[in-house]
Amino acid sequence: MRNPYKGRTGVDRILHAARYSAAGLAAAWRHESAFRQELLLALPMLPASFWLGATWGERALLAGTVLLVLIVELLNSGIEATIDRISLERHELSGRAKDYGSAAVMLALLLCGATWAAALWARFGPA
């Protein structure tokens, strides 16, 4: 059976997907304070990654870890919204799912912080 919502193809599909993605980013900005905070930190960090990194690989690692935090935060927010949509009642599995998402965000933040600390140390630390 064919899904009636999956009928778009080609450029039309890409344009609709881009609109849905933009709507998702706008909704995250409006409804998720953690996403707003992380995005506001990302705004100076992304250009700084091109200044701080000495090679394209270093620049990609620095920018990539920043973007990874935003990606994981969006996924975590999606999990939380889905759990809350299903039920606001406390349930062990709902709590566990939210905790897993939160742990993923924390690991992404730690990876980002460690990567940036190493890059800063390499550039400005003792010779």
73 catalytic per annotation: yes
- What whole-number distance in Å separates Cα of residue 65 and Cα of residue 111? 7
- What whole-number distance in Å separates Cα of residue 76 and Cα of residue 120? 29
- What whole-number distance in Å separates Cα of residue 64 and Cα of residue 59? 8
Asked if 95 and 67 sit in the same domain, the reply is yes
- What whole-number distance in Å separates Cα of residue 120 and Cα of residue 117? 5
Instruction: List the catalytic residue out of 73, 80, 89, 92.
Output: 73
Q: Which residues contact 107 (CB under 8 A, 6 or more apart)?
A: 72
**Per-residue pLDDT tens listing for the chain (127 residues):** 667 667 778 898 999 999 999 999 999 999 999 999 999 999 999 999 999 999 999 999 999 999 999 999 999 999 999 999 999 899 999 999 999 999 999 999 999 999 999 999 999 988 7
How high is the pLDDT of residue 1?
A: 65
Domain range enclosing 4: 1-31
Asked if 40 and 21 sit in the same domain, the reply is no
Q: Which residues contact 22 (CB under 8 A, 6 or more apart)?
A: none
Biggest distance spanned by C-alpha atoms of the chain: 65
Asked if 101 and 75 sit in the same domain, the reply is yes
Kindly report the length of the chain: 127
Q: Tally the domains of the chain.
A: 2
- What whole-number distance in Å separates Cα of residue 30 and Cα of residue 48? 26
